[in-house]
Amino acid sequence: MTITSDATPELPGEGSVTDIAPEQALTTTGDEWWRSAVIYQIYPRSFADANGDGMGDLPGITSRLDSLTDLGVDAIWLSPFFTSPQKDAGYDVADYCDVDPLFGTLDDFDRLVAEAHARSIRIIVDLVPNHSSSEHEWFKQALAAAPGSPERARYLFRDGKGADGSEAPNNWESVFGGPAWTRVTEPDGTPGQWYLHLFDQSQPDFDWTNDEVRERFRGILRFWLDRGADGFRVDVAHGMIKEDGLPDYTPPAEGGSMGGAGGIDPETGEQIELPSAPYWGQEGVHEIYRDWHKVLDEYEGERVLCAEAWVDPLSKMAKWVRPDEMQQAFNFPYLETPWNAPALRVVIDESLAAFGAVGAPSTWVLSNHDVVRHASRLALTVENPQGAGVGPKTPGKPVREVGLRRARAASALMLALPGGAYIYQGEELGLPEVIDLPDEARQDPTWFRTNGERYGRDGCRVPIPWQAGAPAYGFNETGASWLPQPDDWDDYARDRQEGTPGSTLELYRLALQLRRAHQLGLGGVTWIDGFGDDVVAFSNNGVTVIANAGETAVELPADLLDAEVLLASGTIEGAILPADTTVWLAR
């Protein structure tokens, strides 16, 4: 067997991408780029900080674009950078059509789009339509207006229960903990109505049955499309419509905080289906997306929508990507599947079948800004529902080496699958979750709203390391950082990994190059049997992919011995595939 995992294959059409004019590169129609794209999620607060205030910003992102060209991604999804009081890290938007000064200006956004397009990288903007910030002009008007007024009708205001209206209108809990309703004080000083917020109380939910809300959002879509955005990641795309009458509901204890995504039961291989909540996955959301699809169609190029919809089973999620709705939906059942071969085979099969049934590609994702980084999550030894987070007192803490080994193997498996793939900044460096954040540094509303019972999501949001030994690891020049970075991150720094054979960064670079060269994103999965229960093995466009998710090494069959090793997530010797290792072979 020849080991060539450090080889850099020649790529079709690779050239000096910066020479391509933006229009030429990105307004092609008919190529449906999103079907096989690798999309890199940037969490602007934590990617790169140009002005040194400890908070990442748009100019910081622009200055680091070459690192993404080098990695080989097709598009960037930017988490929110809009005007916001930052009560939920920007997912509380006060002005949908401006940039918060923390992150820069609209000019900085335009520059970022132009520079990205010049490198053939598309830009996807985060749209937060379920709720605004309580500092949004509309919400301020609603508070100043009377019950029953058109201003209040843009949100979900209701009278309280009980003789004096002092009980919340129903029993719904906020995703971040605590009640989903807050009572307002009316302009005349008396205790008044209640408003619904599925998230923090600073995030009032819009009433999406109101045409004014719909019209405003069409305008917001056009605002960013006019500025060159290639699409939108749609926040809480399963929550915008609530069941009529807002009936009481108590979620099952085992569900994640966002609902749905029960995942695959590793014991039975069955998709775990949780009862649906009166605020998640209601049928009425679909007409909104059909409407937005038409708005995107007004524009040249292939503009896209990607749903954050935590619904299950996958056949239900596939409704979000029917031909006249969105192009992609995050495959959360895949993300939630443990590192377990039978469960992985089931979720891959179900994903390809469910999305394929509506003519959509599957997506694949392992990490994002809301979940424990997979370099830690895959080595947790006790249940950890989405939103719980990991902190100093969490039982079953992951062993770092085990987590990294599994993460590399899991990423190598994911990047060989047909469809679109999402990478969360820092996973290409093998970054673990930061578990030991001091309590006083934590900022996630989940932490506060549950009185520290749930750690929340700060641990996956720490600014990423660029340069070993530098202030803030090169995140900026001043050393400031909105969340403290661990002391032992030198070895994860990008500069240490660049060009270093076997580093996680080089593994990702190679995987993306090979993925493109062999068109794996456009291929298909043909299962290969005979490796035993702990192995996931398939071929895709002539590449044989074998992932050993078990605890013992597996011997590869003799007929594979003269295969060329294109990529390996760990060290391969002879015909032995160690535990927690994925290999790509070509014959």
Residues that bind ligand GLC (CB under 6 A): 88, 91, 128, 199, 235-236, 258, 308, 369-370
**Residue 81 · residue 58 · CB < 8 Å:** yes
Is residue 538 helix, strand or coil? Answer: strand
Cis previous bond, 342, omega within 30: no
Q: Which is nearer to ligand GLC, 103 or 199 (CB)?
A: 199
Distance from the first to the final alpha carbon of the chain: 10
**Residue 242 · residue 279 · CB < 8 Å:** yes
CB of 529 to ligand GLC, least distance (A): 38
Rounded-to-integer distance, Cα 274 and Cα 259, Å:
8
Active-site residue flag, 298 = yes
Q: Which is nearer to ligand GLC, 279 or 466 (CB)?
A: 279
Among candidate residues 298, 439, 477, 491, the one labeled active-site is 298
Q: Which is nearer to ligand GLC, 362 or 446 (CB)?
A: 446
Active-site residue flag, 350 = no
CB of 363 to ligand GLC, least distance (A): 15
Q: Which is nearer to ligand GLC, 194 or 280 (CB)?
A: 280
Among candidate residues 92, 235, 350, 458, the one labeled active-site is 235
CB of 386 to ligand GLC, least distance (A): 9
CB of 233 to ligand GLC, least distance (A): 9
Q: What letters, b where the CB count within 10 A reaches 16 and e where it falls short, cover 158-180?
A: bebeeeebeebbbebbbbbbbbb
Q: Which is nearer to ligand GLC, 336 or 370 (CB)?
A: 370
Q: Which of 233, 351, 293, 303 is nearest to 33 (CA)?
A: 303
Rounded-to-integer distance, Cα 534 and Cα 557, Å:
15
- Give me the sign of the Cα torsion angle 160, 161, 162, 168: negative
For the chain, helix (H) and strand (E) counts, in that order, are 15, 21
CA distances from 469 to 472, 487, 489 (A): 8, 10, 9
Task: Output the six-digit token pair for 68.
Answer: 């993404």
Q: Which is nearer to ligand GLC, 228 or 255 (CB)?
A: 255
CB of 444 to ligand GLC, least distance (A): 8
Task: Output the six-digit token pair for 388.
Answer: 């719980």
CB of 258 to ligand GLC, least distance (A): 6
CB of 200 to ligand GLC, least distance (A): 8
CB of 90 to ligand GLC, least distance (A): 9
Radius of gyration over alpha carbons of the chain, in Å?
23
Q: Which is nearer to ligand GLC, 220 or 236 (CB)?
A: 236
Which residue sits closest to ligand GLC, CB atoms considered? 91
Beta pairing, strands 95-99 & 420-424: unpaired
Q: Which is nearer to ligand GLC, 202 or 394 (CB)?
A: 202
CA distances from 21 to 117, 120, 124, 230, 584 (A): 8, 9, 19, 16, 35
Q: What is the DSSP letter of 186?
A: P
Task: Output the six-digit token pair for 555.
Answer: 């011997």
Q: Which residues are catalytic?
A: 235, 298
